[in-house]
Amino acid sequence: MNIDKLKDLIYYDSQTGLFTSLINRRKVKAGELMIGYPYRGYIKVKIFNKFIPAHRLAWIYMNGEIPKGMQIDHKDGDRSNNRIENLRLATASENRQNLKAASKSNKSGFLGVYFCKEQQKYRAEIVVNGKKIRLGRYKTAEEASEVYMDAKRKFHEFFYEGTGNAA
């Protein structure tokens, strides 16, 4: 993506995370906000005849490129918050550390906590450097979650860096 051409077409307000068109386009006039559309919580903006995630566009606008093999992480976990202060480079592993909630398929309702039918207890586990670490079994999901969150503070330092969730 040519950064100079990008800056001729749009303006990015790093304080709000919003884009403004600098030229008249089909649906957006010069000076109007480019609203984009939501996709799985992210905002996508149409530029150069394709839809680009706004967080990636913001990073490129401010920094020129996204280094190969890196992703852009939303520090606060809000995929629609594209203010530059909320964005940071992350590896895929680091980006996964920023999960805030259990997946819908996780019946315990807690991140890193799973119900073990055989023992009728809740199991806590965390993945560190691609390896699963078992943290034990507990009577309640809340107990298991507490142990998981302690381990997350210890092993997922990236998650806490700059989030206000200091260990």
What is the pLDDT confidence band of residue 160, given thresholds at 50, 70 and 90?
A: low
Q: Are 83 and 76 in contact (CB under 8 A)?
A: no
Q: What pLDDT does residue 164 have?
A: 45
CATH number at 3-90: 3.90.75.20
Residue-wise DSSP of 63-112: HS---TT-EEEETTS-TT---GGGEEEE-HHHHHTT--S--TT-TT-STT
- Look over the chain and give the mean of its residue pLDDT values, rounded to a whole number: 90
pLDDT of 23 > 80? The answer is yes
Tell me if 44 sits within 8 A of 35, measured CB to CB: no
99-160 falls under which CATH superfamily? AP2/ERF domain (3.30.730.10)
Please tell me if the domain spanning 3-90 has the same topology as the one spanning 99-160: no
pLDDT at residue number 97: 79
Q: Domain spans of the chain?
A: 3-90, 99-160
Give dist(CA 124, CA 105) in Å, integer. Answer: 16
Is residue 25 within 8 A of residue 11, CB to CB? The reply is no
pLDDT tens-place string over residues 95-131? 887 777 788 888 899 999 999 999 999 999 999 888 9
Which among 134, 100, 84 has a CA at the least distance from the CA of 114? 134
Radius of gyration of the chain (CA): 20
Q: Is pLDDT of 75 > 70? A: yes
What pLDDT does residue 48 have?
85
Q: What is the pTM of this model?
A: 0.77
Q: Residue 167 above 50 pLDDT?
A: no
Looking at residues 84-89, what average pLDDT do you find?
Answer: 96
Q: Which two tokens stand for residue 105?
A: 């398929």
pLDDT of amino acid 165: 46
